[in-house]
Amino acid sequence: MENIAEEVLKGNRFALSKAITAIENEYDNATEIMQKLYPHTGHAYVLGVTGPPGAGKSTLTDKLAKEYRKRGKTVGIIAIDPTSPFSGGAILGDRIRMNELTLDPGVFIRSMGTRGSLGGLSHKTADAVKAMDAFGVDVIFVETVGVGQSEVDIVKAADTTMVVLIPGMGDDIQAIKAGILEIGDIFTINKADHDGADKLATELNMMLDLDGETKDWRPPILKAIANQNIGIKEVVDTFHKHHDHIEGNGQLTVRRTERAKNEMLDLLDARIGAYVRHNIVDNGKLDEYVQDIKARKTDPYTVVNSVLQDMLK
């Protein structure tokens, strides 16, 4: 397809799909596409959805998207699943819970694999979000498994982040609380009809209270039963409330500024990483350096200095 960016801006869905592919696969035209799309971004509201596997994030996202549609908003969804470290393949299984949205022209769903750590997933996700934003959707969900730092980072790119938990996770909550407590603007206990929902709410409340700092936004703890469509409106209302809150106190601007900064740094990191892979790793130079280092003919510090000098030429 020629002129992918122009087609995206015209509302061509397949062009949006192609743009995300270019970003994801690091095609040569990705940068050019993003350069053209960037001026048209900044309108969509970005919602992060994270939580442990099995919490029902996809089902919840499906229902929330439907609620937004009822309220006249268009929706983009980026659903991220882990890539197998053994094969490099992935089962992208979130879409299956969103089949009813497939034929809604006001919804666009894209699944992505984490593809290991080298690829710079967080900046790819950020760019996919921007492509959807430029395409013109009102609300973008980024859904990811909340384990592992890189995936937590992805969610940090959101304006509002919801952590989804379910009762009966036992000690898991202890294990993940450190990571999730700080990123959650909203906590939703899904499958709230199951035993232990109240206990989980109490535990969460205690942890949030212990968190110490006096914040002007105390993350609310909501209850939902996504597969019965219970508690969905309340979650969307709370998204709105949080949005109004951070818009009112200037936090939204602060967050987005912070995000722009982080994204630029990420992009720079990714580019440097890519440079290093192209010019050092893939062509076998790395092995030569390592041989020399091992033989004490040189040292890693000197090599790095020389690589950096080459790069900056």
Partner 1 sequence: MDKRIKVLVAKPGLDGHDRGAKVVARALRDAGFEVVYTGLRQTPEQIAEAAMQEDVDVVAMSLLSGAHPHLFPKVVELVRGKGMKDALIIGGGVIPETDIPALKEAGVSEVFTPGTPTTKVVDYIKANVK
Partner 2 sequence: MSNEKIQAELEKYEATVAKAIAKFPERPNLPEKRLYTPLDVKGPEAYVDELSFPGEYPFTRGVQPTMYRGRLWTMRMYAGFSTAKASNERYRYLIANGGTGLSCAFDLPTQIGYDSDDPISEGEVGKVGVAIDSLADMEVLFDQIDLGKVSTSMTINAPASVLLAMYIAVGEEQGVPASELKGTIQNDILKEYAARGTYIFPPKPSMRLITNIFQYCSQNVPKWNTISISGYHIREAGSTASQEIAFTISDGIAYVNAAIKAGMDVDAFAGRLSFFWNAHNNVLEEVAKFRASRRVWAKVMKERFHAQKAKSMMLRVHTQTAGSMLTAQQPNNNIIRVALQTAAAVMGGTQSLHTNSRDEALALPTQESVTIALRTQQIVAYESGLADVIDPLAGSYYVEAMTDRIEKEAWEYINKIDELGGAVEAIEKGYIQKEIQDSAYKWQMDVESGARTIVGVNKFTIEEEPPKGLLKVDASVGVEQCKKLADLKAGKPINKMTKGRDNAAVKAALDELEAACKDENENLMPHILKAVKTYATLGEICNVMRGVFGLYEAHVSL
Q: Which residues contact 33 (CB under 8 A, 6 or more apart)?
A: 4, 5, 8, 19, 22, 23, 131
54 binds, among partner 2, partner 1, none (CB under 5 to 8 A by kind): partner 2
**Residue of 11, 93, 248, 300 that binds partner 2 (CB under 8 A):** 93
DSSP 72: T
Return the amino acid letter for 184. Answer: G
The edge-to-edge listing of strands for the beta sheet with 45-51 is 107-113, 75-81, 139-145, 45-51, 160-165, 186-189, 221-223
Among 48, 41, 51, 239, CA closest to 133 = 41
> Which residue stretch of 88-96, 109-117, 174-182, 268-276 sits at the interface with partner 2 (rule: CB under 8 A)?
88-96
Write out the binding residues for partner 2, residues 210-229 only, by CB under 8 A: 227
Pairwise CA distance, residues 36 & 235, whole Å? 35
| 111 lies in the binding site for partner 1 (CB under 8 A) | yes
110 binds, among partner 2, partner 1, none (CB under 5 to 8 A by kind): partner 1
Nearer to partner 1, 1 or 281 (CB): 1
Nearer to partner 1, 97 or 191 (CB): 97
Site string for partner 1, 116-135 (x = CB under 8 A): ---x----------------
242 binds, among partner 2, partner 1, none (CB under 5 to 8 A by kind): none
Pairwise CA distance, residues 146 & 139, whole Å? 21
Residues that bind partner 1 (CB under 8 A): 1, 13-14, 17-18, 20-21, 24-27, 83-84, 86-93, 95-96, 99, 102-103, 108-111, 113, 115, 119
